[in-house]
Amino acid sequence: MAFIGPLGTPELIIIMVVLLLLFGAKRLPEMGRSVGRGMREFKDAVTGDEKSSVEPAEISAPSESETNDRQAEDTPAERAERETVS
């Protein structure tokens, strides 16, 4: 992989534009958070740090609007299955 060379500013800008086009502006911050969380968990596992990396805000139950949004995205079969199970 030595033929690639160092990444400069133009290359990083092109990569960011491609990521923005592929994933959209709403999804990029979520991806950044998940990558950061994964790196933190990896570092904690390697160093043996046993602190909980889950923050209290992440533990809370989903709000009613989030639940309704998820149900609106469900396919009719999933919606029917949930209604019969409930």
pTM of the model: 0.43
Q: What pLDDT sits at residue 21?
A: 93
Let me know how long the chain is: 86
Q: Domain map of the chain by residue range?
A: 8-48
- What span, in angstroms and rounded, lies between the C-alpha atoms of 84 and 60? 27
5-19: per-residue pLDDT in tens?
Answer: 788 999 999 999 999
Q: Which CATH class is domain 8-48?
A: mainly alpha
55-84: per-residue pLDDT in tens?
Answer: 555 555 555 555 555 555 666 666 666 666
> Nearest to residue 57, comparing CAs of 40, 37, 71?
37
